Amino acid sequence: MASPAPASEDTVRKGPKPPIPLSVITGFLGSGKTTLLNRLLKDPAMADTAVIINEFGEIGLDHLFVDQAGDGIVELSSGCLCCTIRGDLVTTLENLLRRLDNGRMDRLNRVVIETTGLADPAPILHTVMLHPYLVMRYRLESVITLVDAVNGLSTLDNHEEARKQAAVADRLVFTKTDLLTTDADRSAFAALKARLETLNPGAQRLDASAGEAVAARLFNAGLYNPGTKIPDVAAWLNAEAYEGAGHHGHAHTHSHDHDHHHGHGHGHDHGHDVNRHDDSIRAFTLSTDRPVSASALEMFLDLLRSAHGPKLLRVKGIVKLAEDPDRPVVIHGVQHVFHPPATLEAWPDDDHRTRMVFITKDLPEGFVRKMFEAFSGALLPDTPDSQAMTDNPLAVSGFTSPVR
């Protein structure tokens, strides 16, 4: 009997393609997104990347255009593509996939979306996470937020959007550090960095003026290591940063919200009244050695996002399920929208605890912790256990209005 013919390259290419990593670049007006994009678009590491911007004229890209394609996609000399948001973001993302699938584009290794300076990045992330087809073809990798080193403190003081952009970032990129020429400038920058450490201790920080904001360091912040294709949960969660910054992180311990701005040792610039502006945003971790039942996890997340979705700026976690403790589940949410959970074939490291990182607004850490402990089976005095909460809707409703 003759051996079957080997699969042709065409047959192999028509198989399921791995999801394309998608990153969002955001930052307040004047933070330097245009300068960064112009630099990135010349970087050979950006080959086979598509950059989606709002309007070419609006951000003043350098004249790198080689060929103006009919569908609004521009091919650049670096091998990168550039396009505007056509009608809506879904249409633009679908057009890129169409070019890839019909062979008009050989490869698409990454998509980068640039937002307007006033934009809350959450709706862009929701666009991909909620669309039944796009969520299969794209994988949310990272949020990159640019921060003006000169004007950053006043921007955080005066604009809630800027605080949210900083809080949800995986990468914080400082721009214009070369303009910090006086002791007062440098002191204000130190205060800015300390403040961002409180808002978002887990984000990696890069200095654009020092040449650190290159493609290799800006991206690859997602769950999967691009080189090995296996998950790097420790780097993705970076849970230790939250604990090291004074954010409490163990589910069997108790914490109180009034401790949030004490004992950090960061020397905040109280002249800017950090508490007044930032006290509503909290970053913390929850962890437990106990396996969590799949139904308890689902109820916990459903209640949290249905009652308090807008207050969940970002949630990331790896969970040890009671039903399958050797295969952890990865969760990732932005406000009320959660990416479909991913089940890993094995634990990626020796730490087999459930670990969840939360960045919340107007949602106290103690409230989330108490709710998680009830659902995960750690009973506290005067707290209904998860079975009672399931049986008694009134008990559940008690968790919908945190007492401030």
CA triple 158-164-167, angle to 5 deg: 120
Specify if 318 maps to a domain.
yes
Name the more confident of 16 and 178: 178
Expressed as residue numbers, the domain containing 199 is: 18-218
Specify if 69 maps to a domain.
yes
pLDDT in tens, 114-150: 887 667 888 888 888 889 999 899 988 889 999 999 9
What is the DSSP pairing of strand 49-53 with strand 110-114? Answer: parallel
Do 242 and 188 belong to one domain?
A: no
Specify if 363 maps to a domain.
yes
Do 192 and 298 belong to one domain?
A: no
Point out which residues pair with 114 in neighbouring strands.
Answer: 25
pLDDT in tens, 192-230: 999 999 899 999 999 999 999 998 889 876 676 655 566
Do 130 and 254 belong to one domain?
A: no
Using CA atoms, how far apart are residues 214 and 218, in angstroms rounded to an integer?
6
Structural contact between residues 359 and 167, judged by C-beta atoms closer than 8 angstroms: yes
Structural contact between residues 114 and 144, judged by C-beta atoms closer than 8 angstroms: no
pLDDT at 248: 40
The span from the first CA to the last CA of the chain, in angstroms, equals 76
Among 75-79, 352-356, 399-403, which is the least confidently predicted range? 399-403
Do 250 and 189 belong to one domain?
A: no
Specify if 280 maps to a domain.
yes
Final residue of a structural domain among 156, 190, 218: 218
What average pLDDT score do residues 101-121 get?
Answer: 84
Do 284 and 370 belong to one domain?
A: yes
Using CA atoms, how far apart are residues 338 and 100, in angstroms rounded to an integer?
27
Do 98 and 143 belong to one domain?
A: yes
Indicate the pLDDT class of residue 268, thresholds 50, 70 and 90: very low
Q: Is the pLDDT of residue 328 over 80?
A: yes
Do 156 and 297 belong to one domain?
A: no
Do 182 and 245 belong to one domain?
A: no
Do 207 and 342 belong to one domain?
A: no
Do 256 and 149 belong to one domain?
A: no
pLDDT at 66: 39
Do 168 and 243 belong to one domain?
A: no
Do 251 and 378 belong to one domain?
A: yes
Indicate the pLDDT class of residue 325, thresholds 50, 70 and 90: very high
Specify if 187 maps to a domain.
yes
Three-state DSSP class for residue 348: coil
Q: What is the CATH number of the domain that holds 380?
A: 3.30.1220.10
Question: Which residue reads 């130190």 in tokens?
Answer: 190
Specify if 1 maps to a domain.
no
Indicate the pLDDT class of residue 14, thresholds 50, 70 and 90: low
Look up residue 298 and give its two tokens: 């689902």
Three-state DSSP class for residue 266: coil
* The total number of structural domains that make up the chain: 2
Neighbour count for residue 195 (Cβ, 10 Å)? 23
Name the more confident of 17 and 217: 217
Specify if 286 maps to a domain.
yes
Specify if 322 maps to a domain.
yes
